[in-house]
Amino acid sequence: MHGELKIISGSANPKLAEAICEHLGCKLSPVLRERFSDGEIRIEIGENVRGDDVFIVQPTCSPGNFHLMELCLMLDALKRASAARVTAVVPYYGYARQDRKVVPRAPISAKLVADLLSTAGMQRMVTIDLHAGQIQGFFNCPVDNLFAAPVLLEHLRNMDEDMVIISPDAGGVERARAFAKRLGATLAIVDKRRDAPNQAQAMHIIGDVRDKKAVVIDDMIDTGGTLCAAANVIMDNGASDVIACATHPVLSGPAIQRLEESVFSEIVVTDTIPLTDSKKCCKKIKQMSVASLLAKAINNVHTESSVSVLFV
């Protein structure tokens, strides 16, 4: 075992870090997070961590560049303070959408960020619902890619209607199938063609949705274009109701307005990314907490017990 368990939070999602500490029965370790007058980030760990097992809770959500740099500086500070092991708990791993070269002269951002974190001093990563599972292979350290499914399924199981689980694109079929299997529901797919980044055109439904409650499953909601277009096609095909379930509420640009005006009756997300006050005003959004899931993962990593028991 690696010394005493300590939890440190960056500025991205301190409420989630506090909730994790409540589940673990500990307190957040103090850390100074300030900016120099020119905007550079200043980090200082507020207590001794020599020989300790330290976990940094920091999703790389908007502003992504700032939170990523803050995470790197905290990792470096802990490495130089002789922590026995430093684990980055990154509920939302940003820069994951460019995970391969699909056009000439493009970066593989997911790999670059993995290298940055490793160089900064990360010895292990705990994350939730990576945009693509194979991103785990970009790291030279252990990566625990947890699934938010147990949290979202808990909400869906309270619904008695005849459900159909829908993937908004071909890439999400595996995720949607896992939900359908656990709920005993049927599966459908939206055939979608993407014309440009953040722009999608939904074409038609593969599967039967008529007179059923449709649940669209995705890993993230960014601008909401994909989901809202999919919802319109689903309702046009005779569904009785349509709701959305997504792990990461990125909700950038016109997302909130689109969701407000959409045919969705409910949008269920988790707190891997905190909702700003303006986003909380959207009454359709229901946020579930992943604090318990992350607390169990942190405890199991710290006690050197199995993390795979959390994978469902």
Q: Which residues are known catalytic residues?
A: 192
Are 93 and 60 spatial neighbours (Cβ–Cβ below 8 Å)?
yes
Helical H segments across the chain, by residue range: 14-24, 64-80, 109-120, 149-156, 173-183, 225-236, 255-261, 277-280, 291-302
Sheet holding 163-167, edge to edge: 199-206, 186-196, 163-167, 213-221, 241-249, 266-270, 285-288
Query: Amino acid identity, residue 245?
Result: C
Sign of CA dihedral 146, 93, 273, 298: positive
Structure tokens at 62: 């908007």
Distance CA 253, CA 264 (A): 18
**Of 93, 107, 214, 191, nearest in space to 146 by CA:** 93
**Of 20, 117, 15, nearest in space to 7 by CA:** 20
Distance CA 310, CA 312 (A): 6
Q: How many helices (H) and strands (E) does the chain have?
A: 9, 14
Eight-class DSSP state of 215: E
